[in-house]
């Protein structure tokens, strides 16, 4: 399975130059504006998007059919993609955090760690997002799953906007118990986030495995 | 055709059935004895690739059993999968990789990857080590897949149209490599091809698949020995015992008849001179004969 992850990483090496350019451009902008807020989490996202590129490469070359003739199981292929996704998100968050600290130090920000929390929350959102998306990619292939990607991105926004509007205009009254629950949840937000992530990832992985086992090549 | 399964078969396919909307692989059976080269022949769309995919566990079947190196094809353990070298019809390698990348990846996939062997084949096949695969020709890609298949201590090679797309010189060179590989009596090759001359040159056994069914699966020399062609007048052809006739090809001058059980036929019909035949000719007579029926 590690061979599969290496295969993806080697395929992504062409992005190094593009990333270096981004790094310089964003670094310069943050330095010029003495503000890092707009770059927080940007690298987490950029690294995370690479997961989808590896699916594209595999599909273009019809790699999976070849890989399955090697000492690689269907489970290895699914697990390899989930591990790669987590690795990229983790790497992206660390990169984002280090970048934020560096820029904070250079621009002489009061709080050198400003923006780090946001980059890790960004990582959690990305993992949640992939938990929904990966079973669709496994089932439909990356091209068709792009439509799902759009839906997955849009639906939460639409729902939040709708609820916000409903609450503000007084059409819906939020029950007190729910407000209390939200406050309690807020206290334990990091723990809660971790539990939600683990549960969603596990369910997603299990579904993807089932889908991949039934696939024909 | 009676199938004799022995413990010394590298591959045993028994009553394999796979149904698609417009094609059915119909209860096919054959076996590939260890230490031999099995040529798997048939026209495009006859079911060669479907059978190979079933052997490799890439598709789910609707019936039958397949054993590969003694294990059920749906559940071949990893250590045995490492003994199987596969060349598929396409290249299946990422276009932006180069040979060093491939060596790096395969080293981490195959426990018994032989780096020196791989680069020796790369040199032998004149593959450019400074170019990405997208710049390789179809022949180069094929040679690369063959180099990979031969560089991890494989005992069984499964090759789907591995020699197509190669020029005759290279094809000959690769067939020699296959013959060298088979010198070890534990080594086996299943080679599917529509280039019959390749099969005639190296195969010990020939399995002929036609429209999803196996027509024959036999020793190549026996096949050639037991069959023969006679030339006669059309009306004479009609008087021959049909049990000897595999197929008849008629033209304005008379008829060509492919006969089986050559020795028995000769004893009964001494007036005909029997000409030697080839696998290609047998296939053509059989498939056309079948279409007429």
- Number of domains chain B contains: 2
Q: Tell me: do B248 and B161 sit in the same domain.
A: no
Which residues share a beta bridge with B117? none
| B179 interface with A at CB cutoff 8 Å | no
Which residues share a beta bridge with B179? none
Per-residue pLDDT at B293: 41
CA–CA separation, B66 and B57 (whole Å):
9
Per-residue pLDDT at B289: 65
B259-282 pLDDT, tens digit per residue, is: 999 999 999 999 899 999 999 899
How far, in Å, are A136, A208, B36, B238, B272 from residue A140 at the CA level?
A: 6, 11, 41, 58, 63
Residue B38 lies in a domain: yes
Per-residue pLDDT at B182: 94
Per-residue pLDDT at B7: 55
Q: Tell me: do B69 and B109 sit in the same domain.
A: yes
Alpha helices by DSSP H, listed for chain B, are 48-55, 78-81, 99-109, 115-124, 138-149, 168-181, 196-202, 220-226, 234-239, 262-268, 279-292
Residue B256 lies in a domain: yes
For B44, the token pair is 């495009």
Q: Tell me: do B59 and B151 sit in the same domain.
A: yes
Residue B268 lies in a domain: yes
A14: which residues sit within 8 A by CB, 6+ positions away?
Answer: B96
Which residues share a beta bridge with B248? B257
Contact of B162 with B246, CB cutoff 8 Å: no
CB contact under 8 A, B88 and A216: no
Q: pLDDT confidence of B63, banded at 50, 70, 90?
A: very high
Q: Tell me: do B116 and B253 sit in the same domain.
A: no
Short-list A62, A66, A26, CA closest to A43: A26
Answer yes or no: is the ipTM higher than 0.90.
Answer: no
| Residues B90-116, mean pLDDT to the nearest whole number | 93
Provide residues of A within 8 Å CB-CB of chain B: 2-4, 6-7, 10-11, 14, 57-58, 60-63, 65-66, 68-73, 214, 216-217
CA–CA separation, B58 and A77 (whole Å):
13
Q: Tell me: do B99 and B127 sit in the same domain.
A: yes
Contact of B40 with B51, CB cutoff 8 Å: yes
Residue B92 lies in a domain: yes
- The alpha-carbon gap from B81 to the nearest alpha carbon of chain A, in Å, equals 5
Q: Tell me: do B57 and B198 sit in the same domain.
A: yes
Per-residue pLDDT at A160: 81
CA–CA separation, A79 and A5 (whole Å):
10
Chain B residue with minimal CA distance to A7? B105
A1-24 pLDDT, tens digit per residue, is: 789 999 999 999 888 888 888 878
B292 pLDDT higher than 60: no
Higher pLDDT, A162 or A207: A207
Per-residue pLDDT at A40: 67
| B84 interface with A at CB cutoff 8 Å | yes
B125 pLDDT higher than 80: yes
Average pLDDT, chain B: 90
Encode B68-83: b = buried (16+ Cβ within 10 Å), e = exposed.
bbeeebeebeeeebbb
Q: Tell me: do B63 and B161 sit in the same domain.
A: yes
Short-list A214, A173, A193, CA closest to A123: A193
Range of the domain at B13: 9-220
Chain B residue with minimal CA distance to A215? B59
Per-residue pLDDT at A16: 83
**At CA A66, angle to CA A215 and CA B45, rounded to 5?**
75
Q: Tell me: do B132 and B216 sit in the same domain.
A: yes
Q: Tell me: do B215 and B250 sit in the same domain.
A: no
Q: pLDDT confidence of A37, banded at 50, 70, 90?
A: low
> Which of A121-125, A198-202, B28-32, B215-219 shows the lowest mean pLDDT across its residues?
A121-125
CA–CA separation, B229 and B244 (whole Å):
11
Q: Return the sign of the alpha-carbon dihedral for residues A142, A148, A150, A156.
A: negative
| Residues A156-185, mean pLDDT to the nearest whole number | 79
Share of chain B above pLDDT 90, in %: 69
Residue B288 lies in a domain: no
| Residues B35-56, mean pLDDT to the nearest whole number | 93
| Residues A137-152, mean pLDDT to the nearest whole number | 86
Higher pLDDT, A165 or A7: A7
B12 pLDDT higher than 50: yes
CATH of the domain at B27: 3.40.50.300
CA–CA separation, B246 and B198 (whole Å):
24
Q: What are phi and psi of A110, to 5 degrees?
A: -65, -50
Q: Tell me: do B27 and B160 sit in the same domain.
A: yes
Per-residue pLDDT at A177: 80
Burial of A178 (0-12, 13-18, 19+ CB in 10 A): exposed
Residue B281 lies in a domain: no
CA–CA separation, A77 and B116 (whole Å):
28
B92: which residues sit within 8 A by CB, 6+ positions away?
Answer: A61, A62, A63, A65, A66, B145
Q: For chain B, how far is it from start to end, CA to CA, in angstroms?
A: 19
A208 pLDDT higher than 50: yes
Chain A residue with minimal CA distance to B106? A3
CB contact under 8 A, B93 and A61: yes
Q: pLDDT confidence of B3, banded at 50, 70, 90?
A: very low
CA–CA separation, A133 and B36 (whole Å):
47
| Residues A86-94, mean pLDDT to the nearest whole number | 89
Contact of A100 with B139, CB cutoff 8 Å: no
Interface test with B, best of A66, A67, A74, A80 (most B CBs within 10 A): A66
CA–CA separation, A11 and A213 (whole Å):
25
B15 pLDDT higher than 50: yes
Residue B120 lies in a domain: yes
A57-86 pLDDT, tens digit per residue, is: 999 999 999 999 999 999 999 999 999 999
B188-198 pLDDT, tens digit per residue, is: 999 998 888 88
Q: Tell me: do B206 and B238 sit in the same domain.
A: no
Looking at chain B from residue 105 to 144, which residues have their Cβ under 8 Å from any Cβ of chain A? 105-111
CA–CA separation, A117 and A189 (whole Å):
12
Per-residue pLDDT at B251: 83
| Residues B90-97, mean pLDDT to the nearest whole number | 89
What Rg do the C-alpha atoms of chain A give, in angstroms?
20
| Residues B227-247, mean pLDDT to the nearest whole number | 90
How far, in Å, are A1, A63, A208, B106, B115 from residue A4 at the CA level?
A: 5, 10, 17, 9, 18
Chain A residue with minimal CA distance to B159? A69
Q: Tell me: do B39 and B59 sit in the same domain.
A: yes
CB contact under 8 A, A71 and B109: yes
Per-residue pLDDT at A81: 95
Residue B116 lies in a domain: yes
């Amino acid at each position: 399975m590690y061979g599969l992850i290496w295969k993806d990483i080697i395929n992504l090496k062409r992005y190094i130059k593009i990333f270096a350019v981004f790094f310089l451009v964003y670094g310069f902008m943050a330095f010029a504006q003495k503000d890092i807020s707009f770059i927080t989490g940007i690298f987490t996202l950029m690294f995370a998007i690479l997961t989808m590129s590896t699916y594209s490469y595999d599909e273009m070359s019809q790699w999976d059919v070849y890989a399955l003739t090697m000492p690689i199981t269907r489970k290895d292929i699914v697990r390899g993609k989930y591990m790669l996704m987590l690795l990229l998100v983790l790497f992206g968050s660390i990169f984002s955090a280090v970048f934020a600290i560096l820029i904070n130090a250079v621009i002489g920000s009061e709080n050198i760690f400003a923006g780090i929390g946001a980059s890790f929350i960004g990582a959690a959102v990305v993992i949640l997002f992939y938990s929904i998306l990966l079973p669709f990619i496994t089932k439909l292939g990356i091209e068709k799953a792009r439509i799902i990607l759009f839906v997955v991105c849009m639906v939460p926004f639409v729902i939040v906007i709708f609820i916000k509007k409903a609450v503000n205009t007084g059409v819906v009254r939020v029950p007190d118990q729910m407000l209390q629950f939200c406050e309690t949840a807020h206290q334990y937000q990091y723990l809660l986030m971790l539990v939600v992530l683990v549960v969603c990832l596990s369910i997603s992985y299990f579904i993807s495995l089932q889908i991949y086992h039934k696939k024909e090549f | 055709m009676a199938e004799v399964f022995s413990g010394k078969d590298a591959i045993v396919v028994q009553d394999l059935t796979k149904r698609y909307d417009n094609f059915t692989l119909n209860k096919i059976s054959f076996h590939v004895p260890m230490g031999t080269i099995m040529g798997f022949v048939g026209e495009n769309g006859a079911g060669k690739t479907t059978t190979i995919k079933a052997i490799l566990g890439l598709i789910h079947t609707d019936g039958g059993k397949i054993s590969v190196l003694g294990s059920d094809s749906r559940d071949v353990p990893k250590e045995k999968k490492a003994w199987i070298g596969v060349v598929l019809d396409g290249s299946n390698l990422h276009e932006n990789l180069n040979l060093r990348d491939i060596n790096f990846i395969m080293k981490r996939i195959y426990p018994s990857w032989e780096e020196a062997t791989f680069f020796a084949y790369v040199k032998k096949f004149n593959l450019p080590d400074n170019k990405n695969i997208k710049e390789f020709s179809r022949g180069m890609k094929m040679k690369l897949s063959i180099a990979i298949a031969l560089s991890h201590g494989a005992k069984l090679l499964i090759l789907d149209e591995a020699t197509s797309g190669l020029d005759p010189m290279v094809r000959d060179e690769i067939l020699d490599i296959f013959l060298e590989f088979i010198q070890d009596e534990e080594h086996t090759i299943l080679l599917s091809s529509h280039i019959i001359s390749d099969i005639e040159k190296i195969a010990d056994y020939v399995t002929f698949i036609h429209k999803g069914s196996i027509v024959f699966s036999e020793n190549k020399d026996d096949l050639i020995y037991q069959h023969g062609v006679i030339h006669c007048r059309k009306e004479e052809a009609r008087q021959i015992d049909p049990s000897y006739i595999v197929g008849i090809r008629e033209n304005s001058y008379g008829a060509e008849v492919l006969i089986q059980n050559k020795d028995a036929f000769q004893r009964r019909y001494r007036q005909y001179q029997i000409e030697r035949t080839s696998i290609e000719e047998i296939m053509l007579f059989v498939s056309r004969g079948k279409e007429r029926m």
